[in-house]
Amino acid sequence: MFDNTVLIVGAGPTGLTLALDLARRGISFRLIEAAATPFEGSRGKGIQPRTLEIFDDLGVIDAITAAGGLYPKFRTHLGSLSLRGGSVGSSKQPTESVPYPNVWMVPQGRTEAILRERLRALGGDVEFGKALATFTQNEHGVDATLATGETVRADFLVGCDGGRSTVRKMLGLRMEGAALDEKENQWLIADIEVEGLDRRDWHSWPFAKGGFIALCPLPHTSLFQFTSKAKTAEAGIESVVHKVTGHRAGRVAWSSVYQPQVRMVDRYRVGRVLMAGDAAHVHPPSGGQGLNTGVQDAYNLGWKLAHVTRGAPDSLLDTYEAERLPIAAAVLGLSKRLYRTKSIKRGDATNQLALHYRASPLSSGVPLGSLHPGDRMPDARLDDGSRLFDHLRGSHATEFVTPQGPRILIRPDGYIAHIGSTRFAEYAGEPTLEIRGPLR
Domain of 309, CATH number, reads 3.50.50.60
Q: Residue 250: inside a domain, yes or no? A: yes
Which domain range does residue 381 map to?
A: 364-436
Q: Residue 165: inside a domain, yes or no? A: yes
Q: Residue 90: inside a domain, yes or no? A: no
- Give residue 383's pLDDT: 84
The count of structural domains within the chain is: 3
* 292 and 375 belong to one structural domain: no
Helices H / strands E in the chain, number of each: 9, 26
* 253 and 266 belong to one structural domain: no
Instruction: Give the separation between CA 364 and CA 362, rounded to whole angstroms.
Output: 7
Question: Domain holding 188: CATH number?
Answer: 3.30.9.10
- Give residue 1's pLDDT: 47
* 340 and 419 belong to one structural domain: no
Rounded to two decimals, what is the model's pTM?
A: 0.95
Q: Residue 81: inside a domain, yes or no? A: no
CB-CB contact of 314 with 274 (8 Å) = no
* 159 and 22 belong to one structural domain: yes
Angle between the N-to-C axes of helices 315-341 and 290-309, in degrees from 0 to 180, rounded to the nearest 10:
180
* 60 and 116 belong to one structural domain: yes
DSSP summary character for residue 231: G
Q: Residue 273: inside a domain, yes or no? A: yes
- For residue 244, which amino acid is it? V
* 136 and 269 belong to one structural domain: yes
- Give residue 66's pLDDT: 98
E-assigned strands of 321-415?
A: 364-365, 397-401, 407-410
Domain boundary residue, one of 258, 289, 304: 258
* 36 and 157 belong to one structural domain: yes
* 110 and 22 belong to one structural domain: yes
Domain boundary residue, one of 320, 349, 378: 349
Residues lower than pLDDT 50 in the chain: 1
- Give residue 258's pLDDT: 85
CB-CB contact of 13 with 107 (8 Å) = no
* 390 and 296 belong to one structural domain: no
Instruction: Give the separation between CA 49 and CA 95, rounded to whole angstroms.
Output: 12
Sheet bearing 249-258, strands edge to edge? 81-84, 73-78, 201-205, 213-217, 224-229, 187-194, 249-258
- Give residue 339's pLDDT: 65
Q: Residue 356: inside a domain, yes or no? A: no
| 3-state secondary structure (DSSP) of residue 14 | helix
Contacts 24+ apart (CB under 8 A), 364-368: 364/417, 364/418, 364/420, 365/406, 365/418, 365/419, 365/420, 366/406, 366/419, 366/420, 367/419, 368/405, 368/406, 368/408, 368/419
